[in-house]
C-alpha cells in the first residue's frame, strides 16, 4: 500500500477534516511540550469512536505503517510524537465524561478527556480524581493511564494504574478489549488494564477508562518547613508518613529552586529565615480539621522560625506555588534537561546532594535543581545550561541513580528518550519478558515503534 492509499483509507474512516496532512495542521502534533522531541507524521488522524480507532489500526497494520497514539502531548520523554513517517492517532475527540456513580464513586471518561475536565465533573459531586498534576488542563486521561502518571498524591492514592477500575482499548490488530464499568475487586485472570497502564502506547490504544474516585476533601492544611540539610528533611518526611494520618502530599525542594521561583513567578518566601532544604506537607480530611494535627506532627523537628502553616485556601495556594511553579521557573531560565528518577528512600538524600557535583563533573557550567515527591522516593533532577542535544549531563545523573539502586524513570516513562537505559535498569531478563509480551500482542510492531524497546 502506498502512503497515498493509506491516507485515502484513513480519510474514509474518520472523514476529510479529521485526517490532517497539511504540515501546518500537523505541526502541533509533531513536536512535544519539551521542544526536545519532534518528527514528521504521515498524517494526524482524529477518530471519533472506538470503532474508528480499530479501523485505523487495521489500515495501518495492512500498510505496515507505525501508529503513534497521542493524548495531550504533554509527555516529557518523546513517547507521543512521531519519529518519522508514522500516523499520529490523536485521541482528543474521545473526550466524553460520563455521569458520576455517586454511591460507588466512579466515573467513565474517554481517553481524550483532560484531567481538569474529569476533576470538574467529579468535584461537582463531592468526589475527586486520585491523581493530580500541573499539566491538568492539557494532559488527557488516556495519556495519563498509558504513562501511569503520578503527581503529588501518589503517596495517598497511588498512580493512574491504581485508579483504573475498567478500561476499553484496541489492540494492534483492531481487536477491542472492553471491561467497563469494571469493579474494585476483580480477580478474573491477568490484570490487562494494569498491563496496558504504563505501557506507553506500545501494547494497545486506550479509548476509555472507568476511574475510581476519591472523596473530595472538605478540610486541608499546608505547611512549608525549612531544614539545615537534605538528610534531616528526608528523615522528617519518613517520620511524617508514618505518624500523620491525614497526610496527602510530601514534597521536597531546595533553596536554589525557591530562588528561581521567587525570581520568575513573583512568589514570596514562606518565612524570613532561609534554609538549604524545604519540605511541603499537605494534610487533608473528609471530616476533621487537620491543621492542629499537622502542627503537632511538625513539632518534634524543632524547626523554630523556619515554618509556615496555612489552613485557608489563599494561604495554602501561596505555599503550594513555591513547589508547583518550579517547572515554569526552570523553563524561564532555558530548556532544562529533566531527569525523573526514583531511589530507595534510604538513598534519597545522597541523590539530591550528589547530583549537582555529578552534573558539574560532566559540564562545569551546568546548574542542577532538584525537587520532587520525597514521600515516594521520586526526585526531579533539572539541569540548566547544556544544549538540548548534549546528553552528557543526563548520563551523569542516570549513572548516579543506577549506582544508588534506583530507577531511571519514576513517573515520566521511558519513551524514546531513555530507551538505551531500559536494559541497564531492568536487566536483560526483564526486558526480554516485556518484549515477549509486545511480540505476542503486536507482532508487526505497529504500535508506537521506537518507544521502550530499541529498534522495535
Residue 49: how many CB atoms within 10 A of its CB? 14
Cβ closer to a second copy: 151 or 386?
A: 151
C-alpha cell belonging to residue 151: 503527581
- Is 295 a binder of a second copy (CB under 8 A)? no
Contacts of 324 (CB under 8 A, 6+ apart): 134
Count, residues in the chain: 456
Cβ closer to a second copy: 262 or 431?
A: 431
Taking the complex as a whole, how short is the minimal distance between the CB of residue 411 and a second copy, in angstroms?
A: 5
Task: Pick one of 4, 120, 332, 346: the residue that binds a second copy (CB under 8 A).
Answer: 346
- Is 291 a binder of a second copy (CB under 8 A)? no
- Is 287 a binder of a second copy (CB under 8 A)? yes
Taking the complex as a whole, how short is the minimal distance between the CB of residue 412 and a second copy, in angstroms?
A: 7
Total number of residues that touch a second copy (CB under 8 A): 92
- Is 402 a binder of a second copy (CB under 8 A)? no
Within 18-77, which residues bind a second copy (CB under 8 A)? Answer: none
Cβ closer to a second copy: 56 or 258?
A: 56
- Is 98 a binder of a second copy (CB under 8 A)? no
- Is 300 a binder of a second copy (CB under 8 A)? no
C-alpha cell belonging to residue 110: 474517554
Which residue, among 372, 366, 326, has the nearest Cα to 349 in the 3D structure? 372
- Distance, CA of 289 to CA of 294 (rounded, Å): 10
- Is 131 a binder of a second copy (CB under 8 A)? no
- Distance, CA of 163 to CA of 115 (rounded, Å): 13
Cβ closer to a second copy: 371 or 441?
A: 441
The label of the residue with cell 481538569 reads 116
Cβ closer to a second copy: 104 or 265?
A: 104
x-or-dash string of contact with a second copy, 166-205, rule CB under 8 A: -----x---xxxxx-x-xxxxxxxxxx-xx-xxx---x--
State how beta strands 106-110 and 127-129 pair: unpaired
Cis-peptide, bond into residue 105, ω within 30° of zero:
no
x-or-dash string of contact with a second copy, 234-273, rule CB under 8 A: xx--x--xxxxxx---------------------------
C-alpha cell belonging to residue 309: 502553616
Task: Pick one of 66, 425, 446, 448: the residue that binds a second copy (CB under 8 A).
Answer: 425
Cβ closer to a second copy: 7 or 148?
A: 148
DSSP 3-state assignment of 186? Answer: coil
- Distance, CA of 35 to CA of 48 (rounded, Å): 28
- Is 422 a binder of a second copy (CB under 8 A)? yes
SS3 helix, strand, coil % of the chain, rounded to 5?
40, 25, 40
**Contact status, residue 270 vs residue 281, Cβ threshold 8 Å:** no
∠ CA(451), CA(453), CA(456), 5° rounding?
Answer: 85
Task: Pick one of 305, 344, 387, 454: the residue that binds a second copy (CB under 8 A).
Answer: 344
Within 202-231, which residues bind a second copy (CB under 8 A)? Answer: 203, 215
- Is 123 a binder of a second copy (CB under 8 A)? no
**Contact status, residue 47 vs residue 13, Cβ threshold 8 Å:** yes
Cβ closer to a second copy: 46 or 347?
A: 347
Amino acid at each position: 500500500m502506498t502512503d497515498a492509499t493509506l491516507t485515502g483509507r484513513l480519510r474514509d474512516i474518520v472523514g476529510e477534516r479529521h485526517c490532517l496532512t497539511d504540515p501546518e495542521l500537523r505541526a502541533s502534533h509533531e513536536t512535544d511540550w519539551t521542544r526536545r522531541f519532534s518528527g514528521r507524521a504521515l498524517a494526524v488522524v482524529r477518530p471519533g469512536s472506538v470503532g474508528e480507532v480499530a479501523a485505523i489500526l487495521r489500515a495501518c497494520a495492512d500498510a505496515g505503517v507505525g501508529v503513534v497514539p497521542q493524548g495531550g502531548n504533554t509527555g516529557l520523554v518523546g513517547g507521543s510524537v512521531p519519529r518519522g513517517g508514522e500516523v499520529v492517532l490523536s485521541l482528543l475527540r474521545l473526550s466524553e465524561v460520563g455521569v458520576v456513580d455517586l454511591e460507588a464513586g466512579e466515573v467513565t471518561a474517554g481517553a481524550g478527556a483532560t484531567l481538569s475536565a474529569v476533576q470538574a465533573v467529579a468535584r461537582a459531586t463531592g468526589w475527586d480524581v486520585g491523581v493530580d498534576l500541573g499539566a491538568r488542563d492539557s494532559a488527557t486521561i488516556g495519556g495519563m493511564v498509558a504513562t501511569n502518571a503520578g503527581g503529588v498524591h501518589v503517596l495517598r492514592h497511588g498512580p493512574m494504574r491504581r485508579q483504573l477500575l475498567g478500561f476499553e482499548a484496541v489492540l494492534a490488530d483492531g481487536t477491542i478489549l472492553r471491561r467497563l464499568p469494571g469493579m474494585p475487586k476483580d480477580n478474573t485472570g491477568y490484570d490487562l488494564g494494569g498491563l496496558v497502564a504504563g505501557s506507553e502506547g506500545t501494547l494497545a490504544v486506550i479509548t476509555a477508562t472507568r476511574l475510581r474516585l476519591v472523596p473530595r476533601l472538605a478540610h486541608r492544611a499546608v505547611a512549608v518547613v525549612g531544614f539545615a540539610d537534605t538528610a534531616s528533611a528526608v528523615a522528617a518526611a519518613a517520620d511524617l508518613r508514618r505518624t500523620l494520618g491525614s497526610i496527602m502530599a510530601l514534597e521536597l525542594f531546595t533553596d536554589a529552586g525557591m530562588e528561581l521561583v521567587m525570581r520568575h513567578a513573583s512568589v514570596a518566601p514562606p518565612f524570613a529565615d532561609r534554609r538549604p532544604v524545604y519540605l511541603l506537607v499537605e494534610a487533608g480530611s473528609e471530616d476533621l480539621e487537620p491543621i492542629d494535627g499537622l502542627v503537632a506532627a511538625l513539632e518534634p523537628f524543632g524547626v523554630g522560625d523556619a515554618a509556615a502553616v496555612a489552613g485557608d485556601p489563599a494561604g495554602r495556594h501561596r505555599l503550594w506555588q513555591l513547589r508547583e511553579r518550579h517547572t515554569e521557573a526552570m523553563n524561564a531560565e532555558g530548556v532544562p534537561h529533566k531527569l525523573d528518577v526514583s531511589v530507595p528512600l534510604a538513598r534519597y538524600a545522597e541523590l539530591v546532594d550528589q547530583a549537582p557535583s555529578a552534573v558539574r563533573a560532566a559540564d562545569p557550567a551546568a546548574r542542577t535543581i532538584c525537587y520532587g515527591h520525597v514521600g515516594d522516593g521520586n526526585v526531579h533532577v533539572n539541569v540548566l545550561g547544556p544544549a538540548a542535544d548534549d546528553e552528557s549531563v543526563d548520563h551523569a545523573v542516570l549513572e548516579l541513580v543506577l549506582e544508588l539502586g534506583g530507577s531511571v524513570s519514576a513517573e515520566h516513562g521511558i519513551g524514546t528518550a531513555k530507551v538505551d537505559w531500559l536494559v541497564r535498569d531492568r536487566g536483560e531478563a526483564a526486558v526480554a519478558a516485556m518484549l515477549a509480551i509486545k511480540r505476542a500482542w503486536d507482532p508487526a510492531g505497529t504500535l508506537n515503534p521506537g518507544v521502550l524497546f530499541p529498534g522495535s
